[in-house]
Structures are given as C-alpha cells and as structure tokens.
Structure 1
C-alpha cells in the first residue's frame, strides 16, 4: 500500500495511492496520526475510503507524506564514506565499521516532491543526497534486530540536501553538521508499506532496490539499497539502544554509493565535477518500488550576519 498526503484546491488531504489515482481518506485525517495508531489503522482507513474521493495524481499536489517528530540520518554505504574520505586525503575510519552511526537532522525543514529548494544562505557548494528512509510505527526500546522488523511501518525516499562548504567548516569543531544540513530535507513521494517491498528482500534481510539520481535529466549516479552495511532492522535496534523509538520517527539510510551525492564524486576526482547545484537545477531521485521525488533549486537568501566569538581574555 502507498500512502500520500496532498493538496487539492487548497485542502490538505491524505489517502491511498492506487495506480495513477489517490483515494482520499475522510477530511481531517492525518497520516502521522494513523501511523501512531498502527498498521491496522492504516489498512482500516484505506478500506473505508469513500468512492467519491478519488483524484488523478496529475490534479493534486503531493506534499511530504507526514511531518516526522525526529529524523535520524545514518551512514551505511561504505562506498559513500570511502569517496567522501578520499576528498580529505583519508580512508574509512575503523570506527565506522563498529556500529551504525547517525546524527539528528531538522524535522522542521521537511518538504515534499515538487517543492522548490532554496540554496542555503552563504552556500557555494550545494549538494543532494540519495537515501531511503524507514519509518517507525511502534514504540520500542532496546530492541533486537529481529524485534525491530515489526516496528517498521513503511519506507520512503529521502533527499538530505547539503551545503558542503558550510558543513566542512562547522565540522572542524567536531560536533557534527548544523547549518550545512538543516535547510531542506525531501521525503516522498509517499509512504510504502513493507508488504509492497518484500519481493525485493534478500536472504540477508536487505532490500534490493535500484537507486538512480538525475540532474537536469542526466544520470549522475546510482546504486542498489542492498549495498547497505546494516539492515534497517539493525539500524532500528541501534537507534533504540538505551532510549525509545516512537511512531513517526524517520531513519535515513545515509547516502548511497556510486555517485549518490556530488561530494563523493568530488572526493574521487579531486575537482568539482559535476559542478555544485545552482538555481534552476532540477534533481530527480528514483527507487524501485518507492517512486520518484523531484525538486528544483532556487535562489536562497543572503546570510544574516552574526559576529565571531568573543575571545577569552
């Protein structure tokens, strides 16, 4: 089942996507509320959808499927980590192999497919990142990977837009990304329930979904989701260690290898080729079984100045 949130003549609605149509749920139904009520609530709502609330996808504007309370973004593709490290004259650190690390990114910056993406203030090296995200549907703590399978309610595409020059400077403080990462994050085009993807699951538990990214209609990179170093169940178990994952939490796979972002290609070649994203560039990410998300970069605002630190006497 594919579940979407959309705008139709100024009304925000959610519904089930069937072929090239979307079957609207009763007005006022919020997809995040349904996620919090569990998988059965999603199926019950879809089964009760009235026949008159059916719209062609071409006559609605798709929004982000829901607005998540938290977004954990992992780094699970060794090829991506290796390419980025090479740009700094480095190799993949041994610590990366020990456990699936992540950072929290900004849930207030979530947008949907079709939305414009402003260049972050002060950014000259703007980049995309090709990811798939798992969505938590049941609360849980200290889960095993086997238990975690039942806590994932669906999957969606994720584009973690990145200001590489801002990110590079701020991470020298060794705290993690901040303004380099929090301007925009695309989720969409819809939430896909796990049953729709079981045919792509490998014996090791990975999802063998083909990922492709295009800039202005030209393919830039691609990979398979099966190249993740950890499964989403293992990531969920790690995220729940010593704390609680809750319905609506988003767990990003991290950027795929094979050119899943420009920075990886820059690291391998030693030059900014392909060039950083500029206004009017359009980025499209496609994944088997998940659909496609497309966004166009637009001119951003100038940075509001903040003075440097007051140095200690």
Structure 2
C-alpha cells in the first residue's frame, strides 16, 4: 500500500490519500463512495490517527478496491490542486538520523534532527544564505507505528508502518566548519529535510535491503549502492538506539546516507534534484539560497 499526506490548496485541509499507478485518491472520498463505516469516525482523516495510531485500519480494503480497478473519478486528486506534505505528523514526530558508519564501526550511532524542518515532495529548499556548497544525501526512512524501548530487532521490524525516501540536505561549508571545531552538525543539517512522496507499507515492498537507488541532478544521472549496504541492519541499529532513548509511534528514522548518495561537490542552486528508491518512488527538490540572516545580538 502506498500512502500520501497532502494539503488541498482550495480548503487548506490536510488529507490522507492512496496512490496507485501514479494517481492519487482521497481516502475520505473513497470511504464515502464505498460506504465504509470508518468515514464517520471523528478525527479518522488525521494522518497520525489513521496511519500510525490505527495502523492503517481500513486502508487495505480501500487499496484492494483500487487494485481491482474500482477507481472512482470523484475521489481522484489532481497535482495542481494540492501540496505534498511529508508522510508523517511533523507536530508529533521525532526525527532520528542513523549513521553512516565507518566500515570498522563497533556500534551504531545517531543524532536527533529537526522534525519541524521536515518538508514534502517537490519542495523548494532554502539553504543558509552564506552557504556556497549545497548538497543532498539520499536515505531510506522508516515510519514507526509502535513505541520502542529496549527493543529487539524483531520488535523493530514489527513496529515499522512503512518506508519512504529521505533527502538529508546538507550545507557542506557549514559542515566542514562544524567538524573542524568539534561542534555538532546542527547548522549544516537542521534547516531542511525532505520526505516522500509516499510511505509504502512493508507488505508491498518485501526486503528493503535489495532495493536499488539512483539520483538525477537536472539531466545528469548518478548511480548509488543498493539500500542495504549498511554496517548494521536497520532493525539492529534501531534496537540498539532504543536502549538509549525511547522511540515513539509516529517517529521517523533515517537509515543513513546510501553509498554514492551525495554529490561530494557543489550542487548548483536552482537545480532539480531527484532521488529515487526502487519500488518506493521519486523525491524531488530544488535548493535555493535563503534570505540573509538578521543580526542576532547588539553591537
């Protein structure tokens, strides 16, 4: 199943949608068309409620109808009438970024990212104004639907609601300056992270480790490793981290940069950057130079 989170521009209403064969369908309209009882439950159209708290209750039945060819035109959404939101609830999610690891690493590591800066598909990405070396980082991301504390890898696998593409945009000059001074990477990372366009449930994907990845920057295509070339598996890393912190339903975990999944050099401002993970989808964004910073102290 392929689940999207979009904003209807005409009404400023965020909705849950299902994607099939490149077309999007409003879940609430599908419920009304098919006469499903869940349509009348207060709050069920909220993404966190339907996808995380209710573990996609009723969505599989709707998706089965779409797969069978029953696709009501009244429920179809059109790209020019909506804005893509990240497929999570940014006001309730923590964003945890794993790795990447040295080949001889003994333990997984992680950092907390800025969940308030999570953006959706086809977004314009404002970089810090003084940054001259914008770059992307291709990741797989997992959306959790269960709380995890002192979890086993098996617990982690059961807790994953679905997977999506993640772009961990990075300001390389700021990153180099932070590393040289022994500082955290907040300035270089926390201005924007992209997710989407859809979250795909595990039953539709099978093993994610074998999925292929690719990047396109304008007309140039760049190949990457397969997703699963990790020092530690996703389940192992998340299980380890759950011994340090409590992860909660709705949190987003980035798996760490795919090998070959960054430019390693400057990406021109205004370029169209498209990240692809096989069977999950394509996430596009455009880096732009952000506004000049305001004075932060009196002189």
Normalized against structure 1, the TM-score is what?
0.79
Secondary structure of 2:188's aligned partner: coil
* Alignment partner of 2:94 out of 70, 75, 98: 70
* Alignment partner of 1:303 out of 275, 293, 296: 293
The equivalences for 1:106-255 within 5 A come to 106-198=114-206, 201=207, 207-255=209-257
1:256-303 deviations in Å (ceiling 9; x for gaps): 112x1123xxxxxxxx4xxx1232111000111110011112231113
Q: Tell me by how many angstroms 1:217 deviates.
A: 2.1
The equivalences for 1:3-18 within 5 A come to 3-11=3-11, 12-18=14-20
Secondary structure of 1:227's aligned partner: coil
1:100-150 deviations in Å (ceiling 9; x for gaps): 111111101111111111122221111100100111111121001122111
* Alignment partner of 2:276 out of 268, 282, 286: 286
1:162-213 deviations in Å (ceiling 9; x for gaps): 0111122123343421111011100001111001111xx2xxxx52111101
Count of residues in correspondence between the two structures: 275
Task: Describe the shift of the 1:253–1:182 C-alpha distance in structure 2 as closer, same or farther (beyond 3 A).
Answer: same
Q: Tell me by how many angstroms 1:307 deviates.
A: 5.9
Alpha-carbon distance in 1 for matches of 2:55, 2:121? 24
Secondary structure of 2:24's aligned partner: strand
Alpha-carbon distance in 2 for matches of 1:72, 1:144? 18
Equivalent residue, structure 2, for 1:88: none
- Segment of structure 1 superposing worse, 44-53 or 61-70: 44-53
- Segment of structure 1 superposing worse, 239-248 or 155-164: 239-248
Equivalent residue, structure 2, for 1:262: 263
Residue segments in structure 2 that go unaligned for 5+ positions in a row:
30-42
Alpha-carbon distance in 2 for matches of 1:293, 1:182? 19
Asked whether the 8 Å contact 1:71–1:105 carries over to 2, the reply is yes
Residue segments in structure 1 that go unaligned for 5+ positions in a row:
82-91, 264-271, 309-313
Asked whether the 8 Å contact 1:103–1:176 carries over to 2, the reply is no
Asked whether the 8 Å contact 2:15–2:47 carries over to 1, the reply is no
Secondary structure of 2:187's aligned partner: coil
Normalized against structure 2, the TM-score is what?
0.83
Asked whether the 8 Å contact 1:211–1:225 carries over to 2, the reply is yes
What is the RMSD computed on CA atoms of the aligned residues? 2.6
Equivalent residue, structure 1, for 2:112: 104
Task: Describe the shift of the 1:10–1:64 C-alpha distance in structure 2 as closer, same or farther (beyond 3 A).
Answer: farther
Alpha-carbon distance in 2 for matches of 1:45, 1:30? 18
Q: Tell me by how many angstroms 1:216 deviates.
A: 0.8
Equivalent residue, structure 2, for 1:311: none
Secondary structure of 1:140's aligned partner: coil
Alpha-carbon distance in 2 for matches of 1:304, 1:45? 52
Equivalent residue, structure 2, for 1:31: 47
Equivalent residue, structure 1, for 2:37: none
Task: Describe the shift of the 1:190–1:75 C-alpha distance in structure 2 as closer, same or farther (beyond 3 A).
Answer: same
- Segment of structure 1 superposing worse, 283-292 or 212-221: 212-221
Alpha-carbon distance in 2 for matches of 1:248, 1:286? 23
